[in-house]
Structure 1
Amino acid sequence: MAASAREPGPRELTRQLPSSEEVFRTFIEPRIWTRFYDEFVPREIKIPEVPLFKLLDDSATRFPKRSAFIFFGRRVSYEEFLRSANSFARALRENWGIDRGDRIALFLPNSPQFAIAFYGALKAGATVTPVNPLYTGFELARQIRKSNARILVALDMFKDKVEEAISEHGAKLDAVIYTGIDDYLPGILAILYRLKERKPKIRYDGKKTVKFKELVKSYEPNPPSVKIDPKEDLAALMFTGGTTGVPKGTMLTHYNIVANVHQIDAWWKPGAKGEDIMVGVLPWFHIYGQTAVLHTGIFRAATILVYPRFDLDRILRDIEKYKPNIFHGVPTIYSKIVSRPDITKYNLRSIEVCISGAGALPKAVAEKFEKLTGAKIREGYGLTETSPVTHINPIYGKYKIGSIGIPVPNTLAAVADPEKPVLLPPGQIGEIVISGPQVMKGYLDMDEENKKVFFECCGRRWLRTGDIGYMDEEGFFFIVDRKKDVIKYKGYSVYPREIEEVLYMHDCVTDAAVIGVPHPHVGERIKAFVTLKPECKGRIKPEDIIEFARKHLAPYKVPKEVEIRDELPKSAVGKILRRILREEELKKLQSSEPRRTGTSQ
């Protein structure tokens, strides 16, 4: 959820830098940024030590008849949501003995089933590990293995991927629970869907392969008794590339996520619960959409408009029909809205507040969107490791274009030396670091990586974000570069090393490097460079490499361009230098020098 800045900003300090303790006492501990909080935002909030599922219990108790979700016109009330989650929890316990600490994987798009399975798993004491619906069978199997998931809840249309994960890639599961999009469609749409779509034939045996809908209907809605330690027990195991690019399990406790929900909630203009309507277009397998939309929406007893995929026509029609007031998105979504030729025929004036993350929001897009809707659109920042939100620009107060904003309540942020546990004063460029209740417990089974990403200073535990930036004199933060080589493609974070590992699986590839090349419409296009074994030269083409990658990677990770070279630039110790490749590509963009490449759109 990172926004980046390219402003000239940090001044060069010529005097000797103050000590970490002095920086902490003078700027960080006093939270100099809080003077720019909107008047209704408290400096400190009380965060209850409760299980995440209590958010649902409370809202369903107070607003049982209110719609929690609207899914293609089908309304699911908070009462039905809670009852279904409780029944699912009971089914997990009685069928498979799921208990505290077990892992449940969700291979689902945004849908009522996702939310029901998520909260039902929590009520059984389990930890949820959401899987990107675009993943291949290979990637699905890897996450199942790394998370030690016992149960997989999957969309029936993903049957082939699930079977590939199990039969070809060694994923071991106690059961697969299938659900269909039509399970929660309104009557006539469900019938039309079944007639139009070729639903896969699945042989259900009631134990290893089970129907989600039948489980929810067959069990009493009284969840098993489970004792949760909110600060220790994991609610979600989110897989991310972290600071190095290798997918790793980010351990988020119940307290981490509950804290971030309260922090986000505090940033909105206060209003009575049970009044908001939110656009739920951000994917819930990702922590941004999951916390900012799903969990925060449930906490506020909001009605969430649910979309399994991005469908701009439907979203615009629904905004007119249901009049949502909160919209979370990424720059590409806002850009598509304002760039639509017929956009003025839609009435979008119900929207009041929008937050943009996962990349820099162009000033022109923000201005057009605000003019179109009358809403306030503000950039924020966060990462999976922080549940995710750490910074947002004030909604009604001072807003600095290009800034990721200021830390949310109960959060300390600073800039540190990238190599040392030393805090730097305003104006100095370094690595942005975070300390707060939303910061993860750590990476799963990665002690060495945890030692690198955490450090102690001034009596606090700090998380290194991997993003390079600075804090100005007023406490606003700016990102100027990335320590890690994450490629931002259409709002997705793509990790070069993960793609390179797949390319190295090709029998003909000897060396591989992947970079992001600036592109005006998608952020960065993914380009791969490879060298081939002698016997493959002239036989293997760039298109062959792209096709190989497509079989092992989600579509958004597949290189859009492959260049075959005789050799790749390397350091004295043999490390491939992506930096050199990026510099060459930038020069190429400037000179438009053609190269022999294959492309994938």
Structure 2
Amino acid sequence: MNKAHFEFWPKRVSKSLTVPETTIYDNLAISAKKYPHKTALVYYGARYTYREIEQQVEALAGFLEKGLGAEKGERILLFMQNSPQFLISYYAILRIRGIVVPVNPMNTAEELAFYIKDGGIRIGIVGQELYDRVQELEESAALKAVIAAAYSEYAGEEEGLPPAAAEAARTLEGAVSWRTAISSGDVPSEYSGVPEDIAVMPYTSGTTGLPKGCVHTNRSVQANIAGTYHWMNTTSDVVVLGTLPLFHVTGMVHSMHAPIYGGAEIVMLTRWDRNYAAKVIERYGCTHWTNISTMVVDFLSNPDLGKYDLSSLQVVSGGGAPLPAAVGEKLTAITGLKYVEGYGLSETISQTHFNPPDRPKLQCLGIPSFDVDARVIDPSTGRMLGHGEEGELVVRGPQVFQGYFNRDDENRSAFIELDGVPFFRTGDIVRMDEEGYFFLVDRVKRMINAAGFKVWPTEVESLLYKHPAIQQACVVGIPDPRRGETVKAFVILHEGKEGEVTETEIIEWAKGEMAAYKYPRVIEFRTSFPTTSSGKILWRKLQDEEKQKSGEVL
């Protein structure tokens, strides 16, 4: 295990961390006991205390258990956007020792059917605006019971409400209304959860095949909840801006679980809105904001940003994709803060790596988190590599999942044994510098082979962000009769720059910024990119479009 990074470990933070023997639900119960009258959640102007949240969790748990017959260890679908009901539902499922299966609200009925069948799910808690997708399900995937929630029932009257949070509650055929569920008067059995209980099963995105359920216990999730709390100084008086989707592991841990663990305040957004985000930072004095790099790009591109007081911010952090250096420098210029990047996966319930908040490096995954053994290996031979060498990142730590649900073959290939112990294979190509900081090179599957040279799209994208007219860039490989593959860049220009710069001008500029084999030979302007609901650019979708154009079999 490399220990060079300990020299740069955050001051006054222990280098090891004992994972609490309490459960995720216990975190809420303890914070409600410690801070009953303190605001736990702000939702478009409406405030809810820790005691109120706990009472709602108890009420819903009672109905799940007594009204719907939900049992310990049962997988329950959570299919909704960010909302108070998402948080309440998540903890209510844990309260009855059920397993939360959070699913991306952007999924179609056909995609939803896969999760229901794969997980053997019979009960779902669903956002009202998504209920039509549940109704579309064929009999083979139909849920036996559905609770439908209208977010407007918890929203205040603050301006900035997205349509889903403004929609009034409706009577839906075949569904139990949220109000009926929490007003049933049912009382759940005494809580007896243990660290080994399976708590949540997020699904991987399925970029290399069908999505897979990642089995996590209270213990593996608690490792990252407690780790986040200590690393980010999440005291009871910080105010967390929650803009990441809560179904995603980063939003789940950083914007919901860690604040609740610390008794902090969460200001929750249902949908990303750069103006509203700036407004609530000023209005509620938000101190901690974990996001994804595309949110930061959009936030800083706001021409009205200068109207808002952002001085309350103490930590701006994120992950998902490296933040372009030029954007990080702009963030520092505007807020005085350095961007604190991290790295993690669904299989590790968010972070395995953090940048030290007082010594972060841009476009860097950071250093291994508490008790994480991270190594770089040759993906073909398993041989360990040294500083500066590019190879696959493998990790071992308390947050690593128990395995993929019902995927024995893939569980065997997901791990490699080193020094007699199993390490999880991330599938990401990285390099480690002499100080023990890790840098993402790219996904194993994303490399472009241009005339025998390895081109990593992430590196090219980072260089393109230096161009003053470029707001966002996404690089893919396209077929080339002479080079085998060549580099194409999809580009979104800053507002007002359309028509001022041509594709040829960007190519000529790029020639001076990167090696001859790397610069993009083709530029295509776009006004938007396909993205996940967490904001990640779907590069594979753009890649597939190019393959279809060339007639290549997908």
For this structure pair, what is the TM-score category when the shorter chain's length is used for normalisation?
Answer: 0.7 to 0.9
User: CA 1:516/1:74 → structure 2, altered by over 3 Å: closer, same or farther?
Assistant: farther
Corresponding position: 1:337 with 2:337 = no
User: CA 1:180/1:199 → structure 2, altered by over 3 Å: closer, same or farther?
Assistant: closer
Aligned CA RMSD, in angstroms, stands at 3.3
Q: Report the Cα distance in structure 2 between the residues aligned to 1:195 and 1:251, rounded to whole angstroms.
A: 31
* Pairwise CA distance, 1:458: 1.6
Q: List per-residue Cα deviations over 1:141-192 (Å, max 9, x = no partner).
A: 111111112211111111211101245xx31322010010111023799999
Q: Show the counterpart of 1:92.
A: 64
| Matching of residues 374-385 of structure 1 within 5 Å | 374-385=336-347
Q: Show the counterpart of 1:588.
A: none
Q: List per-residue Cα deviations over 1:264-301 (Å, max 9, x = no partner).
A: 122124x6x32010100000011110011110111111
Letter in 1 for 2:156: P
2:129, 2:164 within 8 Å by CA — same for their partners in 1? no
User: CA 1:48/1:478 → structure 2, altered by over 3 Å: closer, same or farther?
Assistant: same
Q: Figure out how many residues of one structure are paired with residues of the other and give that number.
A: 483
2:339, 2:362 within 8 Å by CA — same for their partners in 1? no
Partner of 1:420: helix, strand, or coil? coil
Corresponding position: 1:56 with 2:28 = yes
Which moved further from structure 2: 111-120 or 466-475?
Answer: 466-475
Q: Show the counterpart of 1:590.
A: none
Q: Show the counterpart of 1:424.
A: 385
Letter in 1 for 2:21: E
Q: Report the Cα distance in structure 2 between the residues aligned to 1:243 and 1:306, rounded to whole angstroms.
A: 29
| Matching of residues 209-288 of structure 1 within 5 Å | 209-220=175-186, 222-231=187-196, 233-241=197-205, 244-269=208-233, 273-288=235-250
Normalising by the residue count of structure 1, what TM-score does the alignment of the two structures yield? 0.74
1:261, 1:296 within 8 Å by CA — same for their partners in 2? yes
User: CA 1:516/1:56 → structure 2, altered by over 3 Å: closer, same or farther?
Assistant: farther
* Pairwise CA distance, 1:478: 1.3
2:84, 2:151 within 8 Å by CA — same for their partners in 1? no
Which moved further from structure 2: 424-433 or 295-304?
Answer: 424-433
Partner of 1:349: helix, strand, or coil? coil
* Pairwise CA distance, 1:375: 2.6
Query: Which consecutive unaligned segments of at least 5 residues does structure 2 have?
Result: 448-456, 462-470, 478-485, 494-529
Corresponding position: 1:519 with 2:484 = no
Corresponding position: 1:311 with 2:273 = yes
Q: Show the counterpart of 2:7.
A: 35
Corresponding position: 1:373 with 2:335 = yes
Which moved further from structure 2: 235-244 or 274-283?
Answer: 235-244
Q: Show the counterpart of 2:353.
A: 391
Q: List per-residue Cα deviations over 1:196-226 (Å, max 9, x = no partner).
A: 74765513xxxx6211122112225x53235
Partner of 1:248: helix, strand, or coil? coil
Q: Report the Cα distance in structure 2 between the residues aligned to 1:191 and 1:263, rounded to whole angstroms.
A: 33
Partner of 1:304: helix, strand, or coil? strand
Partner of 2:131: helix, strand, or coil? helix
Q: Report the Cα distance in structure 1 between the residues aligned to 2:198 and 2:31, rounded to whole angstroms.
A: 22
Letter in 2 for 1:251: V
Q: Report the Cα distance in structure 1 between the residues aligned to 2:14 and 2:296, rounded to whole angstroms.
A: 29
Q: Show the counterpart of 2:408.
A: 447
Partner of 1:425: helix, strand, or coil? coil
Q: Report the Cα distance in structure 1 between the residues aligned to 2:123 and 2:259, rounded to whole angstroms.
A: 26
User: CA 1:200/1:556 → structure 2, altered by over 3 Å: closer, same or farther?
Assistant: farther
2:57, 2:89 within 8 Å by CA — same for their partners in 1? yes
Corresponding position: 1:351 with 2:321 = no
Q: List per-residue Cα deviations over 1:27-86 (Å, max 9, x = no partner).
A: x3xx22111101122110111122211110111110011111100101111101111111
1:422, 1:457 within 8 Å by CA — same for their partners in 2? no
Partner of 2:271: helix, strand, or coil? coil
User: CA 1:555/1:163 → structure 2, altered by over 3 Å: closer, same or farther?
Assistant: farther
Q: Report the Cα distance in structure 1 between the residues aligned to 2:294 and 2:373, rounded to whole angstroms.
A: 30
Structure number with the bigger relative contact order (C-alpha 8 A, sep ≥ 6) is: 1
Q: Report the Cα distance in structure 1 between the residues aligned to 2:549 and 2:229, rounded to whole angstroms.
A: 55
| Among candidates 115, 131, 134, match of residue 162 of structure 1 | 134
Q: Show the counterpart of 1:185.
A: 155
| Matching of residues 290-329 of structure 1 within 5 Å | 290-329=252-291
User: CA 1:180/1:565 → structure 2, altered by over 3 Å: closer, same or farther?
Assistant: closer
Corresponding position: 1:101 with 2:63 = no
Q: Report the Cα distance in structure 1 between the residues aligned to 2:225 and 2:488, rounded to whole angstroms.
A: 35
Corresponding position: 1:405 with 2:405 = no
Q: Report the Cα distance in structure 2 between the residues aligned to 1:138 and 1:402, rounded to whole angstroms.
A: 37
Q: Report the Cα distance in structure 1 between the residues aligned to 2:112 and 2:361, rounded to whole angstroms.
A: 41
* Pairwise CA distance, 1:305: 0.7
Letter in 2 for 1:214: T
| Among candidates 124, 134, 154, match of residue 152 of structure 1 | 124
2:150, 2:167 within 8 Å by CA — same for their partners in 1? no
Letter in 1 for 2:75: R
Letter in 2 for 1:238: P
2:151, 2:166 within 8 Å by CA — same for their partners in 1? no
Q: Report the Cα distance in structure 2 between the residues aligned to 1:555 and 1:347, rounded to whole angstroms.
A: 28
| Among candidates 284, 301, 323, match of residue 361 of structure 1 | 323
Corresponding position: 1:202 with 2:172 = yes
Partner of 1:218: helix, strand, or coil? coil
User: CA 1:297/1:432 → structure 2, altered by over 3 Å: closer, same or farther?
Assistant: same
Q: Show the counterpart of 1:78.
A: 50
Normalising by the residue count of structure 2, what TM-score does the alignment of the two structures yield? 0.80
| Among candidates 105, 110, 118, match of residue 138 of structure 1 | 110
Q: Show the counterpart of 1:464.
A: 425
2:311, 2:335 within 8 Å by CA — same for their partners in 1? yes
Q: Report the Cα distance in structure 2 between the residues aligned to 1:214 and 1:426, rounded to whole angstroms.
A: 59
1:91, 1:215 within 8 Å by CA — same for their partners in 2? yes
1:103, 1:126 within 8 Å by CA — same for their partners in 2? yes
